[in-house]
Structure formats: structure tokens, C-alpha cells
Amino acid sequence: MLRTRRSRLIASSLTAVTLGLTVAGYQAGAAVTSPSDGAVKSVASTAHTAQAANAAKAGGTCLTDATTLVGDLDGDGNMDLIGNPGHNGTKMTIQWGAKDGSFGKKHTVKDLVGAGKGEVATAAVADFQNDGTLDMVVSIVEPSGGDDPNTSSLSEFRPGPLDRTDLTSPDAVHSDVGDKGEVQQLSIAKYNDDEFPDLAVRNNNGDGMTNRDVRLSQPDGTLGEYDGKANGQYGDSGTWGEPPAMPKDGWKQFYKPCA
Ligand SMILES: [Ca+2]
Ligand SMILES: [Ca+2]
């Protein structure tokens, strides 16, 4: 355990150094190009400046505001823009970053993952593995509309880098977040004292009940499964009318402002 942990930390440091060098090289290149879109470019410049400063800690991922994360999701070395209005994972958007530091058009995660009409796509993005590349947890479910909740038709932990066209990952594994109820919200949380982001899941559990379940990320880079002990410590339950509160500051716990 200790040895695994130490190797992992060394690996993280090496990754950070590599990223730092990549960023330095990239910034030198960027200085001689002259991208046109001023507004978008200024956000990107800020992000890249912050990236150098944060590289050793979190792979350069940073926040432009409480619900907008800048980080590399597809692993091409260019920072991408992830929007998460409400910090609840239900309206997440992605804008892919280009070499010149600009961001492309806004895609909804719902469209990218191919959720159908009547289905709800919910996602959470963070570097769960703490290896410098952002990862995603995604659920697709068709709400039952009645008392008995549906479980997710797709529920996965997708380690980055993700495919630009459909957000798939060659290393995707099933996650049980969508097996315990009808997923309504997903939020990043910091539930224990390690550097790995955790997950809060708001479920419709049927019969008028709503739960906040938790999933703790594991030091080996996986997202833990349902854990009764962790749930007892960090979870909560409520009714449909008064659902348990969800964390809104998860990203802030792990990522610094870009500016
Ligand atoms: Ca990228
Ligand atoms: Ca990662």
C-alpha cells in the first residue's frame, strides 16, 4: 500500500514536470502567433499562465469561475473549457481548446454522449486520478416519471483522455452510480483528506425519497463503489420536496482560480 502510494506520487511528479515543460514550450510558440478572437483568447492566456504555476499540483487545471473549469479533457495538450452551470452535472458543456489558445463552439455533454430524447445525461469532471488529465463520470437515464426510479442505461467512470467526438475512453469502466436509483445530479466533492476528488450523487430512490450518496476516489486511480461506511459518514437523505443538499464547491476544493 505504502509502496504503491509512493510510486504513484513519484509518477505524479514526473507527469507534472513533463506537463510543465510542455506548457513552457507551448507558450513560447503561442507568443509568436496572433490569434484573433480577443475575448476568448484572454481567458485562454490567463489559463495558460495559471497552468505553469499550477502544473506541479494539478496538471494545470484551473477555474475561470466557480462553474467553469479549464483543463485538458481530450489529452491533446490544449486546455479545454468545461462549463457546469449549477455545479450539478445536468447542463454540462465542453468547448475544445485549439493550439492558438482559443476555444471552439459549445457542445453539450448530452449531445456528445448521444443521450436520446427523453433521456437525461449527468456528468462530473475532475482529475479523479490526479494524473494531470481530466476524467469524467457520466450517467444516462430515462426518468421513470413515476414512483419507481429507473436505473441508468449507461453509467461509467471514464479516465481521460476522452474522445472529442463522443467523450468515450478506452479505459472506461462501469460505475455503480447509476445502479442505486435514478441519478438526478452529480457533483465533485472533497469528503476525505486526500488529494483525489470525490463524488456526490443525488438519486431519486422512489417512494418520495431522495438520497445523496457518495463515491470516494481511491489512491489507485479508480472511483470507489458504493460504500456503506462512507455513505453513513458523508451521505444524507431527504424527500422529493426537500432533497439533501449537494456540494457546490467541489471544484474550488481542488483547483485554483486561473487568474
Ligand atoms: Ca484538450
Ligand atoms: Ca486523470
- Determine the distance separating the centroid of ligand 2 and the alpha carbon of 75, expressed in angstroms: 10
- Determine the distance separating the centroid of ligand 2 and the alpha carbon of 157, expressed in angstroms: 11
pTM for this prediction: 0.78
Handedness of CA 131, 127, 137, 235 (dihedral sign): positive
pLDDT at 220 over 60: yes
pLDDT at 235: 98
pLDDT at 86: 95
Q: At what angle do helices 38-58 and 2-32 cross, to 10 degrees?
A: 150
Q: Which residues are near ligand 2, the ion (C-beta closer than 5 Å)? A: 127, 129, 131, 133, 135, 160
Triad 98, 96, 61: Cα angle to 5°: 90
Backbone angles phi, psi at 223, to 5 degrees: -95, 125
Grid cell listed for 76: 491533446
pLDDT tens for each residue of 24-81: 433 333 333 334 444 444 444 444 433 433 343 346 899 999 999 999 999 999 999 9
pLDDT tens for each residue of 238-257: 999 999 999 999 999 999 99
- Determine the distance separating the centroid of ligand 2 and the alpha carbon of 127, expressed in angstroms: 4
Which ligand has the shortest distance to the CA of 72?
Answer: 1
